[in-house]
Amino acid sequence: MYGILVLEDGTVLKGKGFGAEKEILGELVFNTSMTGYVEVLTDPSYKGQIVTMTYPLVGNYGVDESWYESEGIKVEGFVIKDLTGKELDEFLKKYDVPGIYNIDTRFITKKIRSKGVVKALLKTSSEPIEDSKIKEYVERTKNHRDLSEIDLVPMVSTEKVIIHKSENEVAKCVLIDCGVKKSIIKCILDRNCTVIQVPYNATPEEILDYNPDFILVSNGPGDPISVKETIETVKSLIGKVPLTGICLGHQIITLALGGETYKMKFGHRGGNQPVKDLNRDIVYITPQNHGYATRDNSLTGETTVCNINLNDNTVEGLISKNKNIFCVQYHPEACPGPHDARHLFDEMINLGLNYRKCKEEE
């Protein structure tokens, strides 16, 4: 199958198509993970994006459903250098997602690092793709809406409440689903904490009716400013119950507290981001997947920065002890990536249990 990748600046890369025979538009980003392509493909945070893997060999260990981070592939398209095995091709076909290989992914990565993320068109076809169409493809790519103009969270959030019951329940968490990864839910359940997964637009009253020990605002795709209903809900919950957040959830909490977020040049996507825990004076190697960040110094008063990225000094965590808030920009559940920060799930649960104890003693 033939494949072509067209960037909004007019760059054209030709390769071989695999997966679905299709044409799609999206924001082109890169991921530096050496493994975990199934988890990347099924991560809801990639909704609206075409993902390029910087590691050249992809597909070599197959596909297994137990690795899925959601119910199927969420990326718009997939760009790789070398395709190994048939399973990845069949996986993309199953979920109607196009891919392209025999592409210089190093060139793409260097361009994105230099110019920033770009809009792109990916087309696969059983017939040769005519050069006469390229000018049209470039124009369509330029005119494609920026992801910041699209509210992506409703496309990946649960539509109904799902209760993940722990048999040996010690705590209860309401998880506001903005596009949660399955492994986040699993990490909480593994710690004997029931998870009540609610839609992104659940009201504060609906959430508080479950009498949670703490609330977790999940990861998800797109610009946090677009998730207005969730921001307002979180704002109204501050001080009423402990609040925690991961990735997009961290950004939503930032906005609910009156802080600011901004779009990064090319973001952090991969499994090797060094984060310094300022309170413990230790470093975690963390998996990350985000294109937006909290603006440093935009929050004042009781909320302080507790984690920073050692590559670029961006904000990686916030804490407000008086308001019982703790959130991080990185992914403590990993999948894929190192498990350095998985203990943060214990801290989230302990935050809730300590709050409950204080309330009972009042």
Confidence of residue 182 (pLDDT cuts 50, 70, 90): very high
What's the whole-number mean pLDDT along residues 113-123? 97
Catalytic residue among 250, 268, 290, 331: 331
CA angle 268, 274, 279 (to 5 degrees): 120
Confidence of residue 61 (pLDDT cuts 50, 70, 90): very high
Give the model confidence (pLDDT) of 4-19 as tens digits: 999 999 999 999 999 9
CA angle 174, 180, 185 (to 5 degrees): 60
Name all contacts of 336-340 with Cβ < 8 Å and 24+ positions apart.
Answer: 336/33, 336/35, 336/36, 336/39, 336/40, 336/271, 336/287, 337/33, 337/36, 337/270, 337/271, 337/272, 337/285, 337/286, 337/287, 338/271, 338/272, 338/284, 338/285, 338/286, 338/287, 340/284, 340/285, 340/286
How confident is the prediction for the chain on average, in pLDDT?
A: 96
Domains of the chain: 2-144 (3.50.30.20), 153-361 (3.40.50.880)
Q: At what angle do helices 182-189 and 343-361 cross, to 10 degrees?
A: 50
Strand arrangement of the beta sheet that strand 193-199 belongs to: 162-164, 193-199, 171-177, 214-217, 243-246, 325-328, 315-320, 304-309, 261-277, 282-294
The reported pTM is: 0.97
Confidence of residue 360 (pLDDT cuts 50, 70, 90): confident
What's the CA gap between 283 and 277, in Å, rounded? 6
333 has catalytic annotation: yes
Catalytic residue among 247, 306, 327, 335: 247
Give the model confidence (pLDDT) of 234-293 as tens digits: 999 999 999 999 999 999 999 999 999 999 999 999 999 999 999 999 999 999 999 999
